Amino acid sequence: MINTLLAYPFRLFFLLVGIYGFAVVLAWIAFLFGGLALPLGWSPLHWHSHEMLFGFTAVAIAGFILTAVSNWTGAPPLQGGKLFLLALPWLAGRVVMWSAGYLPVWLVAGVDLVFLFALAGVLLNILIRHGNRRNLPLGGIILLFALANLLMHIGFITGDTSWLRHGELLAMNLVTLIMLVIGGRIIPLFTANWLRSQNLPIVITARPALDRACIAVTALLIPAAWIDYPWLTGLFALAAALLNGCRLIGWKGWHTLRQPLLWILHLGYLWIVLALLLKGLSAFALVAPASWQHALGTGAMGTLILGIMTRVALGHTGRPLQLPSYGWLIYAGISLAAVCRVGVALGWGNYQWGILLAAIGWCFAFICFLAIYWPILSRPRVDGRPG
């Protein structure tokens, strides 16, 4: 089984996503409602934010990008000992982050920072060696993501919450960009391929100008976060919501309701649009900032990560692109989590019950993912091919 897990990046990293996605939220809820003592050494709220971004989301990004880069470049996948050596810094980072109260802050920062810089180095090396210039910006985004992690650690070390806030916002904006880039490639492509396979006379038209505008306007949120003009952030966010909404409509996701592996990706992208809309409204004090943060985190990141993992794991293990039996429970759980968490942030319903339901939905989704996909990810391809 170990050799199989190390045969392709998605196998090991997707299982780590499932395990950590469940564990980190379970521990957070146990801390909030059960009095669990976490030896963190700093603000529990910022620790939770850090681990969702640089623990959970980072390893999901690694699993997808290191798998996709083989398709982009024709390079052999990172595997075996090299894959294990890349996973070790991520594991070490989680150990020090969970025991930070017992360790020097410089040691915690030093260990935790290694993974993302190593990931960026591996990705850029593959892209440069194979002359794939188109995807070099993704390597740059990973480097900036590592910088965002550094900013949060500076905040932990100095006690200056402005560093924490800037690191958190930079990371969330960068993850949004990654989702826009990756989503813009795979969602219309997968949708168009499926529509053709069903002999449906529906065409997904490429609109490169709109694609570029979506990414450019959303990218403007990064420098806007450093300028103390909330109205400017609000205008950029509202414009980004409008553009990305038009982009999503052009992908005609309502035709994919018979294919869960597709509509879940459209739903995940819809959460990005809603997050951008709420971010724009929060800049004008019309909704709480927590609403857009959780629409992006629980809604967009949670839904797209599970949506992509459930599809990629099937395709890359030689299985038909059909959601396994009871796989719909994964999507039901994450949708419950997103609706409840955003609803609480908007002031709808009882806070404690809303948070609890959101946590139950989230943990249920990842437990279901592990139960259904562990055999798929830990066993050889069904078609006998390597990988």
What is the rounded average pLDDT of the residues 253-280?
Answer: 97
Residue 1 pLDDT greater than 90, yes or no: no
Q: Which two tokens stand for residue 273?
A: 């649009």
Q: What architecture is the 2-378 domain classified under in CATH?
A: Up-down Bundle (1.20)
Count of all residues that appear for the chain in the document: 387
Residue 3 pLDDT greater than 90, yes or no: no
Give domain limits for the chain: 2-378
pLDDT at 314: 96
Report CA dihedral (66, 70, 71, 72) to the nearest 10 degrees: 80
What is the rounded average pLDDT of the residues 298-305?
Answer: 98
* Of 53, 55, 65, 218, the residue nearest 139 (C-alpha): 65
The conformation of residue 77, written as its DSSP 8-state character, comes to: P
Report the chain's mean pLDDT, rounded to a whole number.
Answer: 94
Residue 32 pLDDT greater than 90, yes or no: no
DSSP 300-334: IIHHHHHHHHHHHHHHTTT--SSPPTTTHHHHHHH
